[in-house]
Structure 1
Amino acid sequence: MGGMTMTDLPFWKTTAMKDMTPEQWESLCDNCGRCCLHKLEDEDSGELAYTNVVCRMYDMKACQCSDYKNRRKVVEGCLKLSADFIPVDWLPETCAYKLLDEGKELMEWHPLVSGKKSSLAAAGMSLKGKVLPEDFVEDDELEDHIIAWVK
Structure 2
Amino acid sequence: MLSDNSNHAGCDVMSGDDQGSINVKTAVDTDDKEAGLVDQEGKNTSGNTQLSEVGLDQNMDANYCFADIYVRNAPVYLKGFTGEPDGSVQAELRDSNKGLLAFEQGVCEITASSSFLTVAMSASDNAGLDQIRDYFEQTLRKMSAEKAIEFDWRKM
Q: TM-score, normalised by structure 2?
A: 0.24
Write 1 or 2 for the structure with the bigger share of strand. 2
Could you state the TM-score of these two structures normalised by the residue count of structure 1? 0.24
Structure having greater relative contact order (Cα 8 Å, sep ≥ 6): 1
Greater Cα radius of gyration, structure 1 or 2: 2
Which structure has more helix as a fraction of its residues?
Answer: 1
